[in-house]
Amino acid sequence: MSQTISSSRSYLEAALLKRREEGSFRSLKKDKSGTDFCSNDYLGFASSPRLLELIAAHPLPDHFAGSGGSRLLRGNSAFAEALEERISVFHNAEAGLIFNSGYDANLGLFSCIAAKEDTILYDTLIHASIRDGIRLSRGQAFGFAHNDIVHLEERLKAVSGKGTIYVAVESVYSMDGDESPLHLIASLCRRYGAKLIVDEAHATGVKGKRGEGLVHALGLTEEVFARIHTFGKALGCHGAIVLGSPMLRDWLINYARSFIYTTALPPQSLSAIASAYSLLEENIGVIAVLDERIRLFKDAGTKGVMESISPIQCILIPGNENVKKAATILQEAGMDVRPIMSPTVPAGMERLRICIHSFNSREEILKLTALLSAL
């Protein structure tokens, strides 16, 4: 064995060993037993027989099993572009571009949007995919304290007049479940001429009368430069779309590497996305059911639950071993709740991340709250 290979293996082994010693080693689990209180399938679409019916009945745009290449080669279709237009209209946007995943969308957008003289200001709890896109960006970047309007304005003052400023937030944060103060942030962006980018991953299908997202619900669509809506959470399928102006769409087609250099989604995936939007449009009442289930969980008064009115409800249990032990107790009682450990969240901020769904019965939710109270 060469010295280079041996050295590389030693590094990998040492890093994995450290993870095991810290109690932060990740492994895949096939078991899906227990009542689902951990998935992002907020509306039950991923396991919906009705969605499968709609997909089966939806005519495929062609007879190919795959797309055949990137969309700049032979992977584009009239169906893909019509779907982008339909989704844009649903969310009240001028244009949109579909990416293969939310990660790809954020990576592509944030890696290419800023020039060297530009600045990206981002909430420190922003998703890892946005942070990774920022790392690839040519612009400079600074974080501001989570949902802290005063700190954001300080950052805006410091970089004002030095190129284009982009402000990146999530409408609903994936780990804490709290909402961004979008009205206040949009007002600051207007004042300082900054462009607001909002990741709507955990608001898509959940916030708004029809699930259009929090930006639309608050009447801020004209205030936002770009929105990212993902299909792999409440919509129960896969992929994502970046919404904005026609110019932004053209820019991404020309410069977003995660769009340019990847095989396009196959026709089956596009059909699933179209069917999920159809299901959302015909089943608006499910959002009200989800809201009622969230209130039921909140009204139980479980100790230590973080402030959130979204499906994401968290209880801080510091320490990887401590939070794993708590999750095991719940799992053994038939509740599929997963621990969120460091380094996914900062050390000391480990938590049980509980996701409430429209399909969780009242009895299941009350059983869970009783178990949590006994921890």
Catalytic residue positions, numbered: 40, 127, 170, 174, 199, 202, 233
Q: Which residues pair with 316 in a beta bridge?
A: 351
Phi, psi of 94 (to 5 degrees): -75, -40
Cα–Cα distance measured from residue 10 to residue 13, given in angstroms and rounded to the nearest whole number: 5
| 340 within 8 A of 347, measured Cβ to Cβ | no
Cα–Cα nearest to 323, from 353, 302, 343, 297: 353
The tokens for 283 are: 């089943």
Distances (CA, A) of 5 to 10, 16, 335, 345: 9, 17, 44, 32
Burial 288-308 (b: 16+ CB within 10 A, else e): ebbbebbebbbeeebeebeeb
Cα–Cα distance measured from residue 351 to residue 103, given in angstroms and rounded to the nearest whole number: 23
> What type of residue sits at position 58?
H
Phi, psi of 354 (to 5 degrees): -105, 125
> What type of residue sits at position 77?
S
Cα–Cα nearest to 366, from 264, 296, 303: 296
Q: Looking at beta carbons, which pairs linking 368-374 to residues 24 or more positions away fall under 8 Å?
A: 368/35, 368/37, 368/297, 368/330, 368/335, 368/337, 369/297, 369/300, 369/302, 371/329, 371/330, 371/333, 371/335, 372/302, 372/303, 372/315, 372/330, 373/300, 373/302, 373/303
Cα–Cα distance measured from residue 301 to residue 298, given in angstroms and rounded to the nearest whole number: 6
Cα–Cα distance measured from residue 39 to residue 44, given in angstroms and rounded to the nearest whole number: 10
Cα–Cα nearest to 259, from 102, 98, 115: 98
